[in-house]
Amino acid sequence: MVFASLCFYGWWNPAYLPLILGSVLFNYIIGISLSRPGEHRKTKPNTLLIIGVASNVFLLGYFKYADFFISNINSALTTKFPLLDIGLPLGISFFTFTQIAYLVDSYRGNAKEYDFLNYALFVTFFPHLLAGPIIHHKEMMPQFSNYRNKSVRYANISNGLFFFSIGLFKKVIIADPLGVWATNGFDHMQALSLIEAWATSLSYTFQLYYDFSAYTDMAIGGALFFNIKLPINFNSPYRATNIQDFWRRWHITLSRFLRDYVYIPLGGNRKGEFLTGANLMATFVIGGIWHGAGWTFIFWGFLHGVAIVIHRIWRQFDFELNQVIAWILTFNFVNLGWIFFRAREWKDAIKVIKGMFGFEGVVLPHKIESLLGGLSFQGVRFGDPLVAIGATNMIYIQLAVALGIALMFKSASQCSLKLRTSYIGMMFSAVIFFAALTYMGGASEFLYFNF
């Protein structure tokens, strides 16, 4: 399985195989040293942990942030240091975080692994390797060593096919078409009118969710073929009625990592309200930096940190908003935040936001000019309101369907509990699987491969 996973990883670019193998070997050695009894350890555990974590952060920083720091130094000091133009190895953020968690767990006495092959499988297991979920040693190794998991179990294969089919359908049928409109709006246009801007932002909001949750579903399905259960990573996040609820539902394993290995070590909520707020802000800014080398990512993390702090203060007043109003506020805040997450430059984010608030004009369809023609005196124009992003009226249906599924349908994990090996479940899996195959076109990268 380790060999197969490394072949899977090396298929993209064999040049990065030594990198992941070196990372695995280094962390395995540090982990063994941390797990040894005190009398057999030559270096203090604190020092070992600092060396291990710092080395992982340095590796990630070199590949992911070196050019970002160089460009900012050049901008601030008017220097001309050349950029390194380093390619980002697939999955480096995920296998780095996985191994940092392992080192900390080893330091705390919650993880011990003396078999290199077992550790290599824990890190490289192909379903989660490229884009998560972020896993823990203690939740995976008992499954790999379980004798029952080394035989064929048809119930798991059936359930795995269900998850995989759901993920493929979400990726090909829902996420990819929406990605076309989002790319046109963010990357190809100089200005967006009101409807174009909202269509652009909502297209990305739903593309990101269906794309990343699709990968997670396919990873869970792929792991189930081998009787391995990966942790659930999404739980209908766009149903959230406050920002804290959103982060309990969105990228659950990342939220868990940031809580256990950043927020709590910083002090959590144990040192008063002010420091709790500071710890929350620091945690979310670090989460923003982890996603990408850019000020827009940092600002996205900052926005969510501010929202979490405000929510924490709001709860102290013991005042409950109407659930519909609370959902509208939460969803629109998340949608606004994704604009900075997606934008390549500040100007792209500002362009979309200006359009959403009508600063670049309002264009309404020709069909309603006879009814609302009087608005032309207010600066409203009539024409094709979607021409800039190259969309048709079908986008309204696509967005409505994406919202409806996100709000009204159960998650794949909840559906699988009922369907499993039933004839209805098998037929459903077959239909959506072949529907996705029918619509598959050219190459389409999963969005979280970029992070």
The catalytic site residues sit at 291
pLDDT score of 319: 83
More confident of the two residues 272 and 226: 226
Cβ–Cβ under 8 Å, residues 119 and 105: no
Cα separation, 255 vs 451, whole angstroms: 15
Cα torsion at 143, 149, 154, 160 (round to 10°)?
A: 30
Cα separation, 129 vs 353, whole angstroms: 35
Tell me the backbone φ, ψ of residue 232, rounded to 5 degrees: -65, 135
Kindly tell me if the per-residue pLDDT of 82 is higher than 80.
yes
Supply the mean pLDDT for the chain.
89
pLDDT band at 41 (very low <50, low <70, confident <90, very high): low
- Computed on alpha carbons and rounded to an integer, the radius of gyration of the chain in Å comes to 24
Kindly tell me if the per-residue pLDDT of 287 is higher than 70.
yes
pLDDT score of 289: 93
pLDDT score of 424: 77
What percent of the chain is predicted at pLDDT more than 70? 95
pLDDT band at 417 (very low <50, low <70, confident <90, very high): low
pLDDT score of 317: 86
Dihedral (CA of 318, 322, 325, 327) sign: positive
Task: Please state, in angstroms and as integers, the Cα–Cα distance from residue 350 to each residue in 305, 307, 337, following that order.
Answer: 20, 20, 12
Task: Please state, in angstroms and as integers, the Cα–Cα distance from residue 76 to each residue in 73, 80, 81, following that order.
Answer: 5, 11, 12
pLDDT band at 432 (very low <50, low <70, confident <90, very high): confident
Cα separation, 163 vs 184, whole angstroms: 31
pLDDT score of 38: 63
Q: Convert the pLDDT of each residue in 134-165 to its tens digit.
A: 998 888 988 988 888 889 998 889 889 999 99
- Helical H runs in 109-186? 116-124, 126-129, 137-145, 154-169, 176-183
pTM of the predicted protein model = 0.92
| Straight-line distance from the first to the last Cα atom of the chain, in angstroms, rounded to the nearest whole number | 25
